[in-house]
Structure 1
Amino acid sequence: MARYKNGINGPVSGKIGNVVAASWRGIDYFRSLAEYTDNPTEKQILQRLKFALVNGWLKPLREIIWIGFQFFTGSKTPMNGCVSYHLREALIGEGPDYTIDFSKAVFSRGELLVSLIRELICLVDGILNVKWENGPETAFSKPDDQATFIVYNTSKNTFVTFKDVAVREAQEVNLKMPKKHMGNEVHIWMQYVNAAGDGVSTSVYVGQAIPVA
Structure 2
Amino acid sequence: MGTIIHGANGGFKGKAGSVIGSSWKSINYIKGLYKKKSKPASEAQLMQQEKFKTLMRFLLPINFFLKIGFGLKNTEKLTPINAAFQFNGNKAITGVYPNYALDYGNISIADGGLYGGGTVAVSYDSGELTYSWSTGGSDVFETFGDDLVYVLAYHPEKDEFISSTKPSTRETGVVSFMVPDHLTTGSVHTWLFLSNRSKTKVSKSVYLGELQLI
Q: TM-score range by the shorter chain?
A: 0.7 to 0.9
Q: Which moved more, 1:25-34 or 1:97-106?
A: 25-34
The aligned counterpart of 1:81 is 83
The aligned counterpart of 1:96 is 98
Cα 1:161–1:20 change in 2 (3 A) is same
Q: Unaligned 5+ residue runs, structure 2?
A: none
> What is the TM-score when the length of structure 2 is the normalising length?
0.83
Superposition deviation, residue 51 in structure 1 = 1.1
Letter in 2 for 1:182: T
How many residues matched?
Answer: 211
d(CA) in 2 for partners of 1:118, 1:14:
52
Superposition deviation, residue 10 in structure 1 = 5.1
SS at match of 1:152: strand
d(CA) in 1 for partners of 2:74, 2:152:
21
d(CA) in 2 for partners of 1:141, 1:114:
9
Superposition deviation, residue 176 in structure 1 = 2.5
CA RMSD of aligned residues (A): 2.6
Counting only pairs closer than 5 Å after superposition, residues 1-213 of structure 1 correspond to structure 2 as: 1-4=1-4, 11-38=11-38, 39-74=40-75, 75-123=77-125, 125-133=126-134, 137-138=138-139, 140-212=142-214
The answer on whether the counterparts of 2:21 and 2:31 sit within 8 Å (CA) in structure 1 is: yes
Q: Which moved more, 1:145-154 or 1:188-197?
A: 188-197
Q: Which moved more, 1:189-198 or 1:17-26?
A: 17-26
The answer on whether the counterparts of 1:20 and 1:32 sit within 8 Å (CA) in structure 2 is: yes
d(CA) in 2 for partners of 1:99, 1:117:
29
Superposition deviation, residue 156 in structure 1 = 0.7
SS at match of 1:64: helix
The answer on whether the counterparts of 2:150 and 2:194 sit within 8 Å (CA) in structure 1 is: yes
The answer on whether the counterparts of 2:12 and 2:21 sit within 8 Å (CA) in structure 1 is: yes
Q: Which moved more, 1:48-57 or 1:125-134?
A: 125-134
The answer on whether the counterparts of 2:192 and 2:208 sit within 8 Å (CA) in structure 1 is: yes
Cα 1:206–1:6 change in 2 (3 A) is closer
> What is the TM-score when the length of structure 1 is the normalising length?
0.83
d(CA) in 2 for partners of 1:206, 1:3:
52
Cα 1:167–1:36 change in 2 (3 A) is same
Q: Which moved more, 1:137-146 or 1:184-193?
A: 137-146
d(CA) in 1 for partners of 2:86, 2:32:
24
Cα 1:67–1:15 change in 2 (3 A) is same
Cα 1:64–1:7 change in 2 (3 A) is closer
Identity %: 27
Superposition deviation, residue 29 in structure 1 = 4.2
Cα 1:185–1:21 change in 2 (3 A) is same
The answer on whether the counterparts of 1:117 and 1:130 sit within 8 Å (CA) in structure 2 is: no
The answer on whether the counterparts of 1:119 and 1:130 sit within 8 Å (CA) in structure 2 is: yes
Q: Unaligned 5+ residue runs, structure 1?
A: none
Letter in 2 for 1:33: L
Superposition deviation, residue 26 in structure 1 = 4.2
The answer on whether the counterparts of 1:2 and 1:14 sit within 8 Å (CA) in structure 2 is: yes
Cα 1:9–1:151 change in 2 (3 A) is closer
